[in-house]
Structure 1
Amino acid sequence: MTARTRRARAGLFTAFAGLGVTAAFVPAVLPSTERAMATDLSAAVPALFGGLLVGVLSSGPLLMRRPPRTTLMLGSALQAVAIIAVAVADAPAMFIAAAAVAGFGFGLVEASGSVAAKSVAAGSATGLLSALLGTVAVCAAVTPLLVAVGSGTRPLLGILAIVPLLALAMLAGPAAPTSPAETPAHRDVRGLLALLPFAVALPLYVGVETVLSGWSAVIPERILAVDPGLAALGTSAFWTLMAVGRFSAAGLRRLSVPPIVILVSATGAAAVLMATAGILVESAPEVALGGLAAVVVLLAPSYGLILGLALDRLDPARSAAVTGALVACGAVGGTFVPTVILLIGRDPASSATFLVSAGLCALIPVLMLVAARSPRRASVR
């Protein structure tokens, strides 16, 4: 491995570390910011994922004209600016706008990072991508701890922008030699017709996950009436539980448990537990919160399993093109599901929020069973 390739890998890991900071920072800082501004900022979560959707969609034209490193640098720079803006925001509009910009930068890095990983991986990119996603989870789990410590001096939390800034500095060095793998395949959206169950399941899953991750600090604060600074630990707990779920599913896969079995059983059980939490949230809030913790563990591996099962049904030559469209489908769910739930339940911690989420979650195993009955491999032309 050359020095340039090593630097490119290091820059990629730092960029994904920035994703972890961004993913956790906005949800973790919500309770203390709401208290400081004396207003409801729940709309910041759909704004964050709305920006992510725009970033994912914008990455296509950028990647067709520029190497992935350029898009990675732009996304990292936007995240750094947004983190500082979130930390110093003194008005709801500024806070929500900064969340949207953070999501936009996140989407650019998420999409271009997957393409860049192919060019710096030794052999298959699977192992490298797994390590990158692990980096996201670790940084996302640590960030709320820092937010909890600095909740009384929110502007100082802008120092977290140092992570995407470090990524920007590392990516700005000499570029690693380019290879054909760096050139993204043209997206063939028609390929989604053969993958309709997966294209529907992804936004449902991402939407439900967004409800739990985006309001991971707000939900325990409102259910248990805890201090907003302490509530930031809810985001750390969320990402820790996500890591537990992902590693547990990986262990089951090593034991040769079929992915469809893991996916259907886990999402089905999660739907039941989430509905139970919706019923008990007012009468037994502690039990409801414990149920939601179990839901996070059960749902954690779903994204990778749904996407992996979809790609198993594709001609390998076309999988890269369709992956981008599937990621965009997921981002749509992360934007619109929390928005719809806010319109219905008005409160992220309401019974209606969890019951609607349970209903959406219950559709996922049905869609996966339908997909399992379809032909094993679909050729996209």
Structure 2
Amino acid sequence: MTNAGRARAGLFTAFAGLGVTAAFVPAILPRAEGAIGADLSAAVPALFAGLLVGVLVSGPLLIRRPPQTTLILGSALQAAAVIAVAAASTPGVFIAAAIVAGFGFGLVEASGSVAAKSLAVGSATGLLSALLGTVAVCAAVTPLLVALGSDVRPALGILAVVPLVTIVMLAGPTPAASLAEAPAHRDVRGLLVLLPFAAALPLYVGVETVLSGWSAVIPERILDVDPALAALGTSAFWTLMAIGRFGAAALRRASVSPIVILATATSGAAVLMAAAGMLVRSAPVGALIALAAVVVLLAPSYGLILGLALDRLDPARSAAVTGALVACGAVGGTFVPTLILLVGRDPASSTTFFVSAALCALVPVLVLIAARSRVTAPTTD
């Protein structure tokens, strides 16, 4: 395998590890609560708190080290956290492991985006769509594996093999030569031309978090189904995400403009989200069908927004600003669901879908503003 091929394969395994981490903690939570005998709901915000810290820490690391180093560190932390979550016998250990998992996730997400910019041929949007599709596939499969192995929870630590493969793929000097070298310093002026993207990311991530975080709660409350059956909503969500992301990657290979994909998909998603709000009481099945279409349409947005932003920068400067961009998304994932709960209180209420539709409708506006801008990031000597 060539240097570039090995680096690319290592990047895909790193994003596969993100899929495992994204789904493992929420999926194992009910079983772990029964085994430990305590409420572990704090593990979910702990996971996102760790993610935000990991993203923020990635910035200084990426300035001084190539992405390979941060990818290995983040993957190692995720592997250790998966084993700890599976074996935890006390609430403190479980929640601490969730924080570590999120921390590793944040490191890999930021450094992986920088590496994708370096390895991409032409625009980074196509490669990022494929990588995020890999996240979705692994996140869809993980809850099914957790369900099959729920009676032997410690054995689920075997899922740590996914991030461990990343370490094997990226260890040593061979793949490092194919990834971006560390930049000499941070140029924060580069962020000024990225403001529309920095504003669009928290809006999109916030809406996605509403749909993913409550992917089991929404069908349970709309259709009044058994909680065990409703849990399959999480696998359904990530399956739809995979379809949308790989579909966008195929469109990019067919040379469809990322601006066209993003503006069209997010506009359509906003309309369908509003339709779901109108149908949720009178035609709940129709509302769920509309939400399923929303997930497919929104799925490629993160990779396209981030890829378009990184396309404006060289690999060195992208390492300096990627952490800040990903952090913007993480902030939206925390505050948008909180806002919706304060306004609508019920995740499955029409208010939830109307507010989400309004936020979603702002994304194509911001992207089109960015597309019209002819200003480019300043260069360094």
**Shorter-chain TM-score category?**
0.7 to 0.9
Question: How many positions carry a matched residue from both structures?
Answer: 377
Name the CA shift for 1:29/1:276 in 2 (closer, same or farther; >3 Å). farther
8 Å CA contact 1:202–1:326 kept in 2: the answer is: yes
Distance 1:235 1:113 in 2: 25
Question: Which amino acid in structure 2 is aligned with residue 380 of structure 1?
Answer: P
Of residues 183-192 and 267-276 in structure 1, the stretch that sits farther from structure 2 once superposed is: 183-192
Deviations 1:273-321 (A, max 9, x none): 2223234334433222221111101111212222333345557874453
Distance 1:122 1:297 in 2: 24
Aligned-residue CA RMSD (Å): 3.4
Percent identical pairs in the alignment equals: 79
Deviation of 1:158 after TM superposition, in Å, equals 3.0
Distance 2:347 2:156 in 1: 25
Contact 1:118 1:182 in 2 (8 A): no
- 166-175 or 76-85, larger mean C-alpha shift: 166-175
Matched-pair contact (CA < 8 Å) for 1:185–1:320: no
Note the C-alpha offset of 1:271: 1.6
Post-superposition offset of 1:20: 1.3
Please state if 1:365 is matched with 2:364.
yes
**Does the aligned pair in 1 maintain the 2:16–2:138 contact within 8 Å?**
yes
Tell me the amino acid that sits aligned with residue 280 of structure 2: V
Who is 2:222 aligned against?
Answer: 223
The residue that corresponds to 2:335 in the other structure is 336
TM-aligned CA deviation for residue 251 of structure 1: 4.1
Q: Is 1:27–2:13 an aligned residue pair?
A: no
Structure 1: distance between partners of 2:108 and 2:239: 22
Q: How much has 1:88 moved relative to structure 2?
A: 4.5
In the TM superposition, what are the counterparts of 1:1-381 in structure 2 within 5 Å?
8-30=7-29, 41=41, 44-89=43-88, 95-116=94-115, 121=119, 126=124, 131-172=130-171, 176=175, 178=177, 181-184=180-183, 186-253=185-252, 256-313=255-312, 318-372=317-371, 374-381=372-379
CA distance in 2, matches of 1:348, 1:207: 13
Quick one: distance in 2 between partners of 1:306 and 1:49?
Answer: 21
- For 1:261, give the aligned amino acid: V
Kept in 2: contact 1:205–1:330 (CA 8 A): yes
1:370–1:11 Cα change, 3 Å: closer
> Greater shift after overlay, 138-147 or 225-234?
225-234
- Give the secondary-structure state (helix, strand or coil) at the position aligned to 1:182: coil
The letter for the 2-side match of 1:54 is: V
Contact 1:115 1:184 (C-alpha < 8 Å) held by counterparts: no
**Pairwise CA distance, 1:47:** 3.4
Q: Matches of 2:40 and 2:345 in 1, distance apart?
A: 10
Output the CA distance in 2 between the equivalents of 1:50 and 1:240: 25
Deviation at 1:336, TM superposition (A): 2.4
Deviates more, 1:357-366 or 1:181-190: 181-190
Scaled by the length of structure 1, the TM-score of the pair is 0.82
Change (3 A) 1:71 1:221: same
C-alpha contact (below 8 Å) 1:20/1:137 kept by paired residues: yes
Measure, in 1, the Cα distance between the counterparts of 2:89 and 2:179.
47
Q: Kindly provide the amino acid, as one letter, of the partner of residue 57 in structure 2.
A: S
Q: Relative to structure 2, which stretch is displaced further, 75-84 or 124-133? A: 124-133
For 1:321, give the aligned amino acid: A
**Native 8 Å contact 1:147 1:229 kept in 2:** no
Please list the CA deviations of residues 115-154 of structure 1 after superposition, one character each: whole Å capped at 9, or x if unmatched. 44567x4966957655543432322221122123234554
8 Å Cα contact 2:63/2:320 also seen in 1: no
Instruction: Give the Cα–Cα distance (whole angstroms) in 2 for the partners of residues 170 and 311 of structure 1.
Output: 25
Q: Distance in 2 between matches of 1:258 and 1:180?
A: 26
> CA offset at residue 256 of structure 1?
5.0
Q: Distance in 2 between matches of 1:177 and 1:302?
A: 29
Query: Could you tell me how far apart the structure 2 residues matched to 1:176 and 1:341 are?
Result: 44
Relative to 1, partners in 2 of residues 1:109 and 1:312: Cα closer, same or farther, differing over 3 Å? Answer: closer
The answer to whether the 8 A contact 1:281-1:351 is kept is: yes
Farther off after superposition, 169-178 or 345-354: 169-178
Unaligned runs of 5+ in 2: none
Contact 2:64 2:182 in 1 (8 A): no
Which stretch of structure 1 is more off in the superposition, 16-25 or 327-336?
327-336
Amino acid corresponding to residue 12 of structure 2 in structure 1: F
Deviations 1:141-186 (A, max 9, x none): 2112212323455444333223223434554456545478321463
Structure 2 length-normalised TM: 0.82
* Matching residue's letter, 1:378: T
Structure 1, unmatched stretches of 5+, are none
What secondary structure sits across from 1:288 in the alignment? helix
